[in-house]
Structure 1
Amino acid sequence: MPSKTTLKDLANLAGVSVSTVSKALNDSPEIGLKTRVRIKEIAESCNYIPNNIARSLKSKSTKTIGVVIPAILLEFFSKVLYGIEIEATKRGYKLIICLSNEKQKKESESIDTFINGSVDGIILSLAEETQRLKSYAHLDKVSKYNVPMVMFDRVTKDVFCDTVTIDDFECSYEATSFLADHGSKHIAFVNPISNISVGQLRCEGYLKALKDRNLKPLIIDVDHYNQIEKDLTRTLKEQKIDGVVCADEYSAILTINVARLNGFDVPNDIAVIGFTNGLMSEHSIPSLTVVSQHAENIGKKAVELLIDRLEGKLVSDPVHEVIHTHIIERNSTKKLN
């Protein structure tokens, strides 16, 4: 394997000092335009790649953000990641992205990778296993090494850092109230994410909305999406249901399918509302009414918070940003007369 071209190699080829090459590649006005162009052409012809590690040691900044997300296949996290990338690029930062795949061990390994100086700060959404076990010791290392961190969506008060969330309790309260206001009186809650903070808060919001209307709750907790068909089918045969609040987008799509498979019309027999405004929601049959979480805005705000923290613009106490949501009404719910 051929060795990498160094600044010294470029300096020898250009007949200038290493300092001149470095300044030229960084567009320093100290170097004349003609010389800068010539050195850049030589660097390009030699396939020169800057040594970012050496550069970061000198500047004490990598201009890189580490991101840890639980899953990439869920559209919510894809949209958040898109927002992160847009804002990071705008602010001159690169990304290193790791997937925890909902495992605490993989999340911890990602943190270990980042705190060695490869990034300036971290953006993280907690893995399901981390929240279920309430195991946050690996995150204590982040503050120990003075690496700024922003948590989004799945967060915990047990870790001292900035956060970006929606008000999951209030959003679920509003979603449940929306169904009740549109005529549903027997509203179930399908929850495949009861082990994580957002699922718990959404369940609490659902319960409060029913309590305020003297309606009886019916909670269908499942450990995995593949249980929804069996458990919901059994419940539909045993209980009267005319509305369903689902804790996320995928469970809402499955709920629509199960209801229709069992001979129910959506929304005339059973109205359904979910979370996250993704492509599945828009193109399901019928199209899904959702609480839009503005995932892209969550990603952008996380980057803004992190960079503001890096630049010393925030107070010492953690900042908690709440992204406003709204309901997008589609065909899975009844229209008001």
Structure 2
Amino acid sequence: MKKITLKDIAAHFGVSVSTVSKAINDSHEISTDLKQRIQEFAKEHHYRPNHVALSLLKKSTKTIGVIVPNILNYFFTQVFYGIEQTANARGYGIISCISDESYLKECQTVDLLSSGTADGIIMSLSEDTQAKGNVEHLQDLIENQIPMVMFDRVSDDLDCDKIVVDDFEAGYKTTQHLLRTGCQKIAIITSIYNSSVGKLRVEGYKKALQENGKDFDEKRIVKVGRSDDLELLISLLIADKEIDGIIALDEMTAVDTLNILKMKGVDVPDQISIVGFTNGRLSKYVSPALSMVSQHGKYIGELAANILIDRIEYEGEMPFTTKLVKTTLIERESTRKLGTKSSKQLS
């Protein structure tokens, strides 16, 4: 049975959520009669007060909960850094949590942070949550007036502040760039195929192919699961000797792909150009240095922290906002220069 929320009680009495919260908290601002009726109704329906929602009327824990799906992804490390720097500057500490792409772990973490541990939450959805399409655990946060900012992987079903990367445009522009450098047969290698961001990048890739008169081939979308052998998948991919461009949708996959191609004697970028996502340290120091799409993770973290703290500290009504962050392609040695063509063929 779904637990009753402040919003449910407010709807029953035709009053605001704030009025219900004050009544349950025995505030002198609410009439004795209404306060008594609300308290009795809440007791009859086994309402359990959310300590964060109530504490916002009194005090602040000065703590922000942060939930990311994968700490090994350098993008999320950059976001963490931006959040921590900004939160500390404004007098807040952070509790860092990892869902490990698991819906169950995400639910458990949200439950922990919403039990009075943090004033608000900044989070990116796990791949498992997006695959299931179930965000009821987050709807409960909103109904209980717990501030939340979602970033990168967000849900359209939730009314809250959001920061999204223009992943469709990133996939589109990256593909266009490779086509302009002379690539004809471009593949995508993705370990985030169930996530919204992975899907949007592929859709942008498809649009670029279509606009340039190139056929889309499903076989050129290489989906890498946790237990899959990337070397085997790449071997199967380059068996098509016409493949001359690869877009890897995260940094580790881009680095691994580069190393596997080098081990197989493939010249990068002369035979195959590579572009990865997330401009981390690894991509700069491999040889050849990898061209990358920067999602500006530190900036996203700073923006998310400022939006959340503003909402925590502002006593009036604030409309929810959705910020769109553009990506930047950083060209390095793993892609051919504009106007050049491959001089070698895979043997």
Task: Quickly name the TM-score band, shorter chain normalised.
Answer: 0.7 to 0.9
After superposition, residues 29-108 of structure 1 pair within 5 angstroms as 59-108=58-107
Counterpart-to-counterpart distance in 2, 1:330 and 1:313: 48
1:231 Cα deviation from its structure 2 partner? 1.3
2:323 corresponding residue in structure 1: 321
Shift of 1:312: 3.4
Paired AA for residue 156 in structure 2: K
TM-score, structure 1 as length reference? 0.79
Counterpart of 1:274 (choices 276, 285, 288) is: 276
Could you give the per-residue CA deviations for residues 202-236 of structure 1, whole angstroms, max 9, x where no partner exists?
A: 11011111111011332212223743211121121
Does structure 2 retain, via aligned residues, the 8 Å contact 1:81–1:299? yes
Pairs aligned (count): 283
Partners of 1:314 and 1:198 in 2: how far apart?
A: 33
Paired letter, 2:172:
Y
Instruction: Tell me, yes or no, if the aligned pair for 1:186 and 1:216 is still in contact at 8 Å.
Output: no
Indicate the residue corresponding to 1:293 in structure 2: 295
Aligned to 2:196: 197
Q: Do 1:308 and 1:314's aligned partners in 2 also have CA atoms closer than 8 Å?
A: no
Bigger Cα Rg: 1
**Deviation digits for residues 134-171 of structure 1 (CA, Å, limit 9, x no counterpart):** 12111111012100100111111122211112100001
Q: What residue identity is the alignment partner of 1:235? A: L
**Larger displacement relative to structure 2 (160-169 or 211-220):** 211-220
Q: Which amino acid aligns with 1:234?
A: L
**Structure 2 alignment gaps of length 5 or more:** 1-51, 340-347
Q: Which amino acid aligns with 1:288?
A: L
Identity of counterpart residues, as a percentage? 43
C-alpha distance in structure 1 between counterparts of 2:317 and 2:212, whole Å: 41
Describe how 1:254-265 pairs up with structure 2 within 5 A.
254-265=256-267
| TM-score when normalising by structure 2 | 0.77
CA distance in 2, matches of 1:317, 1:220: 41
Aligned residue type for 2:261: A
Corresponding residue of 1:137: 136
Residue aligned with 1:238, SS: coil
Kindly indicate whether structure 1 or structure 2 has the higher relative contact order, using CA contacts under 8 Å at least 6 residues apart. Answer: 2
CA distance in 1, matches of 2:197, 2:317: 27
Please tell me the residue identity of whatever aligns with 1:187.
Answer: I
Distance 1:225 1:330 in 2: 31
Matches of 1:293 and 1:312, distance apart in 2: 29
3-state DSSP of counterpart to 2:229: helix
- Mapped to 1, the partners of 2:319 and 2:175 lie a distance apart of 34
Q: Report the counterpart of residue 175 of structure 1 in structure 2.
A: 174
Q: CA deviation at 1:248?
A: 1.2
Deviation at residue 310 of structure 1 after TM alignment? 2.0
RMSD: 2.0
Letter in 1 for 2:237: T
Equivalents in 2 of 1:163, 1:333: separation in Å? 33
Amino acid at match of 1:293: Q
Distance 1:236 1:330, change over 3 A: same
Question: 1: distance between equivalents of 2:99 and 2:195?
Answer: 14
222, 228, 248: which one aligns with 1:220: 222
- Looking at structure 2, the residues matched to 286 and 314 of structure 1 have their Cα atoms a distance apart, in angstroms, of 53
**Contact 1:192 1:225 (C-alpha < 8 Å) held by counterparts:** no
Instruction: Give distance in 1, aligned partners of 2:170 and 2:103.
Output: 28
Q: What is the Cα deviation at residue 71 of structure 1? A: 2.0
Confirm or deny: 8 A CA contact 2:222 2:233 kept in the other structure. Answer: yes
Indicate if the aligned counterparts of 2:293 and 2:329 stay in contact, CA closer than 8 A: yes
Q: How does 1:2-13 map to 2 (within 5 A)?
A: none
SS in 1 for 2:239: helix
Specify every segment of 5 or more residues in structure 1 that has no aligned partner in the other structure, as ranges.
Answer: 1-52
